[in-house]
């Protein structure tokens, strides 16, 4: 029996979910390649068109990751202590290591006698502060939130929260009927419109006000819907034919994409917009992103991975995705500057930057993980 088959048998791998994780990490790398510009540059015509065009395709990244988590882990089979020990330790240790390293980076550049401008070459949105006090402040703030030197860590806070939530949520998922799960998903679907209702109708929505931020659908809102959706699809054998996917999935993706693209493009075309408003149509928990996410998930589910090489590729990159997530910001700036110097069309440069950054980071993570137990602790 081939090595890949042995690995799959031992770990009971679902290879198409590994491939979903590959697509998700590719999309997330692409998002960060298009985001590596200042707020002022976002309104420039070259970015406004091609950054919007390319970046809008990539919004399903995080929902796909969360759906895979729900598909694999819901309902949780271990007791709560065993689950927390196994899952949270593997998240928190590399999270702390990389968060500290990122926040020490500006101070280290100062020790090396480098110009403060090098900080923005690596981290476009960060303050070029080389003081140790600034680094120490950011490190002490890690229990509360990420700094602009480690923006990608927002997802790790989210993932830790989902892992804390899953054993409790699992008690309901395990006994919930198909109808009850559909009711939850229906209410969650309504909650996806909240960002737009708050922006265009009223800030205080469904009971929210200055003394209450937990509105009517608060308990059904957020990424827990994607968790349940992943579980629902894989456990109820939702398997559309290619014809149905073409008839339903393609229009769904196109509608979701058009809303995302034209919404983001129209807002970023005007300079001086708040970051919150610029991100409105890029919100992951939104109906437009959901319309793009489901067809991708269902299409990959239908693929048959017969090639051993393809299976090996999917499994390899899947095991490295968390390390890639943690470490890729270290290489983003240099890759972006290298590609930006090429005499190519903006769209082509974005694609090249994505492939280059993913390849470099994947290779780095793979080597570190292969170095031994310590490497796996560093990369997760």
Q: Tens digits of per-residue pLDDT, 90-99? A: 999 999 999 9
**Rounded to an integer, what distance in angstroms lies between the CA atom of residue 63 and that of residue 230?**
9
**Greater model confidence, 359 or 8:** 359
pLDDT in tens, 297-350: 999 999 888 888 888 888 899 999 999 999 999 999 899 889 988 898 888 989
- Helix orientation angle between 287-302 and 224-235, rounded to the nearest 10 degrees: 30
Is residue 7 pLDDT above 70, yes or no? no
Q: Are 305 and 15 in contact (CB under 8 A)?
A: yes
Under the banding of pLDDT at 50, 70 and 90, the label for residue 123 is confident
What predicted TM-score, i.e. pTM, was given to this entire model?
A: 0.91
Average pLDDT over residues 229-238: 91
Burial 60-81 (b: 16+ CB within 10 A, else e): bbbbbbbbbbbbebbbbeeeee
Instruction: Name which residue leads in pLDDT, 274 or 286.
Output: 286
When pLDDT is averaged across residues 358-379 and rounded to a whole number, the result is 93
Q: What is the pLDDT of residue 8?
A: 45
Closest to 135 (Cα-Cα) out of 108, 96, 154, 97: 108
User: Element (H or E) spanning 50, and its range?
Assistant: helix 45-57
C-alpha torsion 97→28→271→196, nearest 10: -110
User: For the chain, what percent of residues have pLDDT higher than 90?
Assistant: 68
Question: Cβ contacts of residue 367 below 8 Å, gap of 6+?
Answer: none
2 pLDDT exceeds 50? Answer: no
- What pLDDT, on a 0 to 100 scale, did the predictor assign at position 49? 81
Peptide bond into 280 cis (omega under 30): no
Find the radius of gyration of the CA atoms of the chain.
21
Q: Is the pLDDT of residue 28 over 60?
A: yes
- Please give the sequence-ordered ranges of beta strands (E in DSSP) within 19-113, or none if there are none: none
The pair phi, psi for residue 79, each rounded to 5°, is -70, 165
pLDDT at 276: 83
Average pLDDT, the chain: 90
Beta-ladder partners of 209: 212
Burial class (CB in 10 A: 0-12, 13-18, 19+), 104: middle
Distant-in-sequence contacts of 95-101, Cβ < 8 A, 24+ apart: 95/153, 95/156, 95/160, 95/326, 95/380, 96/142, 97/377, 97/378, 98/150, 98/153, 98/326, 98/327, 99/139, 99/142, 99/146, 99/150, 99/153, 100/139, 100/142
Q: What DSSP character marks residue 261?
A: H
Cα–Cα distances in Å, from 81 out to 85, 87, 92, 167, 377? 6, 10, 15, 9, 20
C-alpha–C-alpha distance, residues 276 and 90, integer Å: 31
H helix or E strand, kind and range, residue 152? none
Q: Is the pLDDT of residue 46 over 90?
A: no
**Is the separation of the CB atoms in 290 and 188 below 8 Å?**
no
CA angle 258, 21, 320 (to 5 degrees): 135
């Amino acid at each position: 029996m081939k090595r890949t088959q042995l690995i799959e048998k031992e770990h009971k791998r679902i290879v198409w979910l590994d491939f979903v994780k590959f697509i998700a990490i590719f999309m997330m790398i692409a998002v960060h390649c298009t985001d590596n510009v200042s707020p002022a540059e976002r309104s420039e015509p070259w970015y406004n068109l091609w950054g919007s065009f390319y970046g809008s395709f990539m919004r399903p990244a995080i929902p796909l990751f969360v759906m895979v988590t729900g598909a694999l882990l819901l309902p949780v089979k271990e007791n709560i202590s065993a689950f927390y020990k196994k899952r949270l330790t593997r998240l928190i240790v590399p999270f702390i290591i990389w968060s500290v390293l990122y926040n020490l980076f500006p101070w280290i550049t100062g020790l090396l006698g480098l110009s403060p401008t090098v900080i923005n070459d690596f981290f476009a949105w960060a303050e070029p502060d080389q003081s140790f006090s600034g680094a120490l402040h950011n490190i002490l703030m890690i229990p509360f939130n990420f700094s602009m030197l480690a923006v990608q860590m927002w997802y790790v806070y989210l993932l830790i929260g989902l892992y804390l939530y899953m054993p409790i949520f699992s008690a309901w998922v395990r006994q919930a009927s198909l109808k009850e799960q559909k009711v939850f998903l229906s209410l969650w679907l309504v909650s996806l419109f909240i960002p737009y209702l708050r922006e265009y109708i009223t800030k205080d929505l469904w009971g929210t006000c200055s003394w209450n931020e937990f509105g009517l659908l608060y308990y059904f809102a957020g990424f827990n819907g994607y968790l349940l959706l992943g579980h629902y699809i894989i456990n109820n054998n939702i398997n559309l034919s290619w014809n149905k996917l073409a008839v339903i999935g393609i229009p769904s993706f196109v509608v979701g994409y058009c809303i995302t693209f034209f919404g983001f493009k129209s807002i970023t075309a005007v300079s001086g917009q708040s970051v919150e408003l610029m991100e409105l149509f890029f919100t992951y928990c939104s109906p437009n992103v959901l319309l793009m996410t489901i067809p991708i998930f269902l299409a990959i589910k239908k693929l048959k991975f017969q090639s051993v090489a393809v299976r090996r590729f999917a499994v390899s990159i899947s095991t490295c995705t968390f390390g890639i997530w943690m470490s890729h910001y270290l290489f983003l700036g240099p890759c972006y500057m290298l590609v930006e110097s090429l005499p190519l069309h903006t769209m082509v440069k974005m694609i090249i930057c994505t492939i280059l950054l993913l390849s470099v980071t994947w290779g780095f993570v793979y080597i570190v993980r292969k170095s031994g137990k310590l490497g796996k602790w560093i990369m997760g």
